[in-house]
Amino acid sequence: IGPYEAGGIMCCYRLPQTWRRGVQIKVHTVHSARLSPDKAGPEIAETKIVEVPEYVNGKAGELWVVRAADGSL
């Protein structure tokens, strides 16, 4: 997803068939630290370990990673 784009989808990541507490995944992200569309800034790469939330209806499905305006996950 480029700077100032609304979002995107990346496929695929295999989730365990049965959810259990404590399952974590590693999310690697790269985002631009630009202040506005016409001002260049550095790209920031980071890796975070996040816990997989409990599955809806007990079934593995889609997993969404959401980034806030400040770049945090």
Domain boundaries, the chain: 1-73
What is the model's pLDDT at position 56? 87
The structure tokens listed for 46 are 């980071």
pTM over 0.75: no
What is the model's pLDDT at position 72? 76
What is the model's pLDDT at position 19? 92
Torsion over CA of 49, 9, 61 and 46, rounded to 10 degrees?
A: 0
Residue 40: partners with Cβ closer than 8 Å, 6 or more residues away:
34
Residue found by looking up tokens 């507490």 in the block: 21
What does the pLDDT profile of the chain (73 residues) look like in tens digits? 455 555 666 667 788 889 999 999 888 887 776 666 666 677 778 889 989 999 988 888 888 887 777 767 7
What is the model's pLDDT at position 63? 82
